[in-house]
């Protein structure tokens, strides 16, 4: 099981304009959500709280960084770049489960206590997302172990 690691060196790979672009996209998505809410109503506006606008920029940057790293090593890196972006997307799919839990908890608590709604919903997002990620990883490693067992072929067939 690969542990979760902290890798501050990854921040050095980013260029200043990439951070600026993410800031601008984040700001634009928040302004857009506000505009939609005031023009089309709270119901439609609420949908855009889960808009994957930032994800588009993040996945593109991840692919670009991976290709840049591989090219420095003399390789094309396009396939590796796509794989890195796909891994990011797989993580985002699990994070979306956490985002759903965030919305449920926030809507249940906010009318009783506003600070508790923000803290509780954020913690719920973190716990649900990390648990979903851990569970998926565990399932993948079990499946890999089974496949490896079948490929190597036990001398005596085991009853299940």
Partner 1 sequence: MTEYLLRFIVGGLVVSAFAMLGDVRRPKSFAGLFGAAPSVALATLGIAVYQHGAGYAALQTHSMMAGAIALGVYSVVVCHLLVRAGLRAAPATLLSLVVWVIVAVGLLTLAGGQT
User: Residue 104 Cβ, how far from partner 1 at the closest point, in Å?
Assistant: 7
Residue 124 near residue 101 (C-beta atoms within 8 A): yes
Site residues (CB under 8 A) for partner 1, limited to 53-72: 53-56, 58-60, 62-63
Residue carrying the six token digits 């799919």 = 93
In DSSP notation, 106-158 reads: HHHHTTT-HHHHHHHHHHHHHHHHHHHHHHHHHHHHHHHHHHHHHHH--SSPP
Cα–Cα distances (Å) from 134 to 3, 93, 125, in that order, read 10, 13, 14
Region near partner 1 per CB under 8 A, out of 69-77, 82-90, 142-150, 151-159: 82-90
Task: Give me the sign of the Cα torsion angle 33, 36, 42, 45.
Answer: negative
| 27 vs 149, beta carbon nearer partner 1 | 27
User: Residue 154 Cβ, how far from partner 1 at the closest point, in Å?
Assistant: 31
| 12 vs 160, beta carbon nearer partner 1 | 12
Residue 105 near residue 79 (C-beta atoms within 8 A): no
Q: Is 77 in the site for partner 1 (CB under 8 A)?
A: no
Tokens of 129: 């997302």
Nearest CA to 134 among 94, 102, 96?
94
Site residues (CB under 8 A) for partner 1, limited to 139-158: none
Site residues (CB under 8 A) for partner 1, limited to 83-122: 83-100, 102-104, 106-107, 110-111, 114, 117-118, 121-122
Site residues (CB under 8 A) for partner 1, limited to 1-40: 2, 4-8, 10-11, 14, 19, 22-31, 33-35, 37
User: Residue 21 Cβ, how far from partner 1 at the closest point, in Å?
Assistant: 10
């Amino acid at each position: 099981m690969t542990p979760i690691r902290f890798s501050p060196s990854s921040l050095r790979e980013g260029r200043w304009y990439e951070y600026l672009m993410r800031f601008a996209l984040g700001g634009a998505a928040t302004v857009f959500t506000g505009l939609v809410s005031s023009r089309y109503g709270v119901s439609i506006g609420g949908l855009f709280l889960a808009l994957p606008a930032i994800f588009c920029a993040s996945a593109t940057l991840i692919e670009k960084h991976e290709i840049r790293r591989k090219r420095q090593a003399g390789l094309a890196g396009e396939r590796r770049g796509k794989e890195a972006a796909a891994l990011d997307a797989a993580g985002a799919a699990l994070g979306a489960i956490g985002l759903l839990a965030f919305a449920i908890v926030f809507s249940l608590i906010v009318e009783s206590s506003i600070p508790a709604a923000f803290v509780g919903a954020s913690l719920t997002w973190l716990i649900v997302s990390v648990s979903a990620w851990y569970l998926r990883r565990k399932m993948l490693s079990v499946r890999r172990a089974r496949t490896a067992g079948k490929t190597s072929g036990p001398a005596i067939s085991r009853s299940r």
